[in-house]
Structure formats: structure tokens, C-alpha cells
A and B are shown apart, each in its own frame.
Chain A
Amino acid sequence: MLSRVPPAARGGWLVAGVATLLLILAGFTLGNYERYLIVIWLIYSISGLGLNLPIGFGQIYSLGQGGFMLVGAYTTAIVTSTWHLPYAVALIASLVLAVVVGILVGLPAMRLRLFSLAIVTFAFGFMLFHVVKSFQFTGGPQGLFMDPLWLTDAFSGRAIYFFALLVAVLGLLASYSIAHSKSGRALLVVGQNETAARSLGINITYYKLAAFIFASVLGALAGSIHAVLTSYVAPETYAAELSVTMFAAVMIGGKGKLLGPFLGAAFIVGIPEVTQAARGLAEVIYAILFILVVTVSPGGILGILEGLIGRLRRGSIKAATAGERAP
């Protein structure tokens, strides 16, 4: 089985496996704040993993991922705290609603391409923000405070940590199996040339919609975990800027690569954390680094890393062949 996996992917699995083991260990040893940061990173990674499929494989520019995170978060808050039902129900409701909303937005939107699609999906997120802000049952501008959930505090916060880690690993496995299936290859063809895809008998709308719904489901999962983590949902948290941030995360990490979203999420969570000391300037530094990464390396952070590794390899091969030639 492993022999069928190309060497680059094998390296990726090695990284993912080691990282998962380290994260499991970290869950038992790290302090509360560090664990909180890692959960936030995992939340962005999960959402980004979802978004990576439409953007990276299908060239479907979705700028509405924040809207789907909003759907997951608000559904979770309303089901657990207004209706007082268990979290499992909230989780299922979030997923079902994400699929329904994904189809409602996706069916008309998937007829569009590129930037028209980007603006329509952006407008969708923008609209949802205004909707939850103006209705009473979504808490209006103040948002909703949630009842304390078992998952939020269990094992001094470790339950939510391992739950987020589990979802991230499952999301990665799902992304991998889709990317390497017939559907993933079909989506790649659709992304590269729709007319060619159609002439090959690929049902374009079906694959595009499926990718869009995959993103909406992972987005809603991420939103649901975020609501549980913070015990509070507010419109501003899921404003249109979140969609821009998620799109940026996928692009900064390296689109179309499964580890890209994790790197992109690390960037958008990590940089503000590291530059906290610069206070007001932190945002400016973040923006400059953002521009630098995407301008210098269109392949994102993963592109930079792969370039470095490639150079090291070539260097070592050269050194080895030079050693052979030496008398």
C-alpha cells in the first residue's frame, strides 16, 4: 500500500504522523494558555482544510468560509443553550444545516466562475453577519452566551483539545482520500479546464457543489468547536473579515497541498501571538509578512519549505556524487 504513495506524500505523512504524536503528548503536558492557542490553530486548520479542496483543487474561489463557521457556531449555541439539548445534537444539527446552506448557496453560485463566485460567496458571509445581528433569537449585536458545556471544561480543558485534534486528523484523512480518489482527480480537471472536463463526461456542477459542501461542513465543524471553546458567539467574531482570513490562510500556507492549511493557520494564529509585544504595530507586521509571503512565493509557506528541502537534497546529491568521483 505504502509503495503506491509517491515519495513526497510519504514525507508529508511522516510530518503529519510525528506532529500528531507530539500534539497528543503536548495535550498532557502543556499549560492552559498554550493548549488554548493550539485549539484555535486546529480550528483554523480544520476550516482551512475544507476550503483547500474547492480553492486548491477545483479553482472554486470561495470567500464565504466565515459564513459557514458562523452557521456551525450559532447552531451550536442555539441548540445547546436556548433549547438545552446535548452537544451531540448540536453537532449533528450544525452539520445538517451546513449541508443545507451549502446547497442553497452553492447551487446558484456554482454556475459562476472565479471572481464572480468570490464576490457572491463573500456577500453570502456578509449577509449572514447582518442576519444574526438583526434577529432576537440569535442574540442581536451582543451575541449569545452559552450554558457551560461538559466538553468545554472536562479534564481541565483537555477534552476540547483532544476533540479538536481528532476532528483535524479525521479532516486530514478525509481530504487525503478525496484528493486521491476518482472524485479528487475529476475536481482537478474541472479546476483546470471546465470545457475539457465536460467533454470527458464529468458532471461539473456535481463535483463543484460536492467540494463546496465539503468546505461548508468542515467550516461548520470548526465554528462549532470554536463556540464550545469560547462559550460565547458574537456576530463580530464571524464577520466578513473571517472569510478573508480563511482564504488568506489557504493561500499563505500553500493551496492544493494537504499540509498547507495547517501552515497557513499557524501563520495567522502564530504571527499576532509572536508580535504581541509590538502592540499596535502587530497588525502592521502581520500584514507586511502576509504580503511578503504571497508575493515572494506564490506556492505559500509550503512552497518556500519545499524549495529549501529541494535545494538541500540537490546539495547532498552533489556532495555524494562529488565524493564518488574523488579518487
Chain B
Amino acid sequence: MDTSLLSAAIVGGVLNGSLYALLGLAIVLIFRTTTVANFAQGEMAMFSVFILIMFADSLPLPLWGQWFVTVLVSAVAGALVYIVLLRPNPQAEHLNLTVRTLGLYTLIYAVSVYFWGANEPYTVPSLFGDGTIAIGGFHISYDQLGTILVTVVLGALFLLFFQLTQLGLAMRAVAINPEVAGLLGVNVAKITLMVWFIAGAIGAVVGLLVAPVSFLDTLLMRPYILKAFTAAILGGLYSFPGVIAGGLVLGLAESFASIWISIHLREPFTFAILLIALLLRPGGLFGRVHKVRV
């Protein structure tokens, strides 16, 4: 295999992998702190892109400003989801709470199809402009480079925030044991609200990065959400570095599968990776099996 094909596969793999990882971060964040698997995370990201091209688009701001507004609105929407959907009947078991996010997934999709489905697909402008640069005889587009850069910076910022800030510490406390965290003076409801706020923002960024490459339609995030969950599970569902590694492993594996085996077998191949990995390590590649007291 020649080097240009190889480097294209690596760039493509890292690119997709970093998007899976970022979306997976939002999922793991919510799962760790609230034990809710947010199935609506992908649809929330898709909705954010519609917020950009339907509303933020008309603001007298440069594109990055419109991006910022979109991310902010999406974050507030994420917080609203928590207040409206998950605050009522909080004593319900986590399965019930998760099924509510399945309902939200259905609702966001239905609303988007109702309002915007007729005219899809839409083109979404890229923040990074057209054009490519050559690195060692291999061409990489501004868009690819920008996407990788944004995901790396955002991922790093997130990890630092979680490890080093007061708020991050409180979130970790809630993740380990909400009840004890509450007794120690952490405002659990406020922290959970913040978690949904951040998850909404991360989702919006992922949507905005994906949409310029693959036209915007109501099914935009469907391929990504399953991969993000897969990345999260490969990483052990509880670990942030784990989900990032899981996303990259998945992206690269997929990319090599489509050039070595067949493009059609990409999806089955993803599933095979997941099954084999979990067969060998049920707790995920980086996770540990959580012991439960009887």
C-alpha cells in the first residue's frame, strides 16, 4: 500500500475518531454523574446545527460569533432538558430516566422533520474555509485540520477542567456518590444542571463540525451517536481518557477496515470490534469491573 493512501486512512480515522470521542465525552459525563445514558445526545447536536442555519444565521455577527451563539443556546437547551425531562419524578430508576431520553430523541427528530425536513439537505458553511495544505506530499484540507484541532483543544480543556477546577471537583464528587457529595455541601441539583449545560455545548460543537462536511439533514448524527456510545463502552463508560482512546481506536479501525476489507462492511466491522473487545474485557479496554456490595 502506498503512503498517500495510508496517510489518508490515518487522517480520516483520526478525524472521525476525534468526533466520536468528543460526542462520547458528553455521554460519559452525563452517565457518570447521573447514571442516565443520554440517547438524545446525537439528536440534540443535530438540532444545534438547525439553530445555527435557521436562527443564528441572521444575526449580524461573523461566522465564529454565530457559532458561539449557537453553542450557548444549545447549552441552555441542554440545561432545559434536565429541568423539564429529568427533574420530575427523580426517584424513578435509571432505566426510566434513560427511556425519557429515548422519548426526547423521538421528539427532536419529529420536530426537525416537521419544520425543516421538506427542504433537506442544507449546506452549512465551514468555519475554516476551503483549501488544503500539503504536508510531506500529502494534502489535508483546512476543514479536516480545523476539526481535529478543535476536538483536541476542547478535549484537553475538558479534562483539565474536570481535574483542576472547583466545579470539576464537585462533578467528580457527584459522580462517585451523589448522596455523600450532597452531605458534604455540594449542590447536587446545580451540578447536574451544569453537567447537562456542558453536554449540550459539546454536542453543539460536534454537530457544527460534522455538518459542513456531510450536508445537514435530520439524520445527520445517526451514524455518530452509535459510534460515540461504542467509544464510551470501549473506554469503560466511566473514564474520560478511556472514551477518547476508544473513539480514536474505533475511528482508525473503521478507516482501515474500509480500505482493506470493503466499504460496505464498515458497520458490521465496528460491531465485530465492539464484541471482541468486550468478550476479552467486559469492563471495557480501560475500565475496571465495578464491584458491588450485596
Contact between chains at A244 and B102 (CB < 8 Å): yes
Contact between chains at A298 and B92 (CB < 8 Å): yes
Contact between chains at A248 and B99 (CB < 8 Å): yes
A residues less than 8 Å from B275 (CB atoms) = 108-109, 120
Contact between chains at A283 and B110 (CB < 8 Å): yes
A258-302 interface (Cβ within 8 A of B):
280-281, 283-284, 286-288, 290-291, 294-296, 298
Q: Which residue of A lies closest to B106 (CB)?
A: A287
Contact between chains at A130 and B37 (CB < 8 Å): no
A residues less than 8 Å from B31 (CB atoms) = 115
Residue B268 CB within 8 A of the other chain: yes
A residues less than 8 Å from B232 (CB atoms) = 119
> Would you give the shortest CB distance from B29 to chain A, in whole angstroms?
14
Q: Which residue of B lies closest to A195 (CB)?
A: B294
Which secondary structure dominates where chain A touches chain B? helix
> Would you give the shortest CB distance from B113 to chain A, in whole angstroms?
7
Rounded to whole angstroms, the CA-CA distance of A126 and B88 in the bound complex is 32
| Interface magnitude class on chain B | 35 or more
Which secondary structure dominates where chain B touches chain A? helix
Q: Which residue of B lies closest to A123 (CB)?
A: B271
Mark A residues whose CB is within 8 Å of B. Answer: 59, 61, 108-109, 111-112, 115-116, 118-120, 122-124, 126-127, 130-131, 134, 193-196, 199, 240, 244, 247-248, 251, 280-281, 283-284, 286-288, 290-291, 294-296, 298
Rounded to whole angstroms, the CA-CA distance of A244 and B103 in the bound complex is 10
B residues less than 8 Å from A294 (CB atoms) = 96, 99-100, 103
Q: Which residue of A lies closest to B31 (CB)?
A: A115
Q: How many A-B residue pairs have CB under 8 A?
A: 121
A residues less than 8 Å from B110 (CB atoms) = 283-284, 286-287
Residue B95 CB within 8 A of the other chain: yes
Residue B18 CB within 8 A of the other chain: no
Q: Which residue of A lies closest to B98 (CB)?
A: A115
Q: Which residue of A lies closest to B118 (CB)?
A: A280
> Would you give the shortest CB distance from A194 to chain B, in whole angstroms?
8
Contact between chains at A111 and B278 (CB < 8 Å): yes
Contact between chains at B111 and A284 (CB < 8 Å): yes
Q: Indicate whether A134 sits within 8 Å of B271 (C-beta atoms), given known contacts A283-B113, A284-B110.
A: no
Contact between chains at A291 and B85 (CB < 8 Å): yes
Contact between chains at B85 and A281 (CB < 8 Å): no
Residue B93 CB within 8 A of the other chain: yes
Residue B183 CB within 8 A of the other chain: no
A residues less than 8 Å from B282 (CB atoms) = 111-112, 116
Q: Provide a sorted-by-A list of 14 A–B residue pairs whose CB atoms are within 8 angstroms.
A: A59-B95, A111-B282, A120-B233, A120-B275, A122-B229, A123-B230, A130-B264, A194-B292, A281-B114, A284-B107, A284-B110, A287-B111, A295-B85, A295-B103
| 7 closest A-B pairs by CB | A287-B107, A283-B110, A291-B103, A298-B92, A287-B106, A127-B271, A298-B96
B residues less than 8 Å from A247 (CB atoms) = 99, 102
Q: Indicate whether A120 sits within 8 Å of B104 (C-beta atoms), given known contacts A283-B110, A284-B114, A294-B96.
A: no
Q: A196-B294, A291-B100 are in contact. List 9 more A-B contacts (CB 8 A).
A: A119-B232, A127-B268, A248-B102, A251-B96, A280-B114, A283-B113, A295-B88, A295-B89, A296-B89
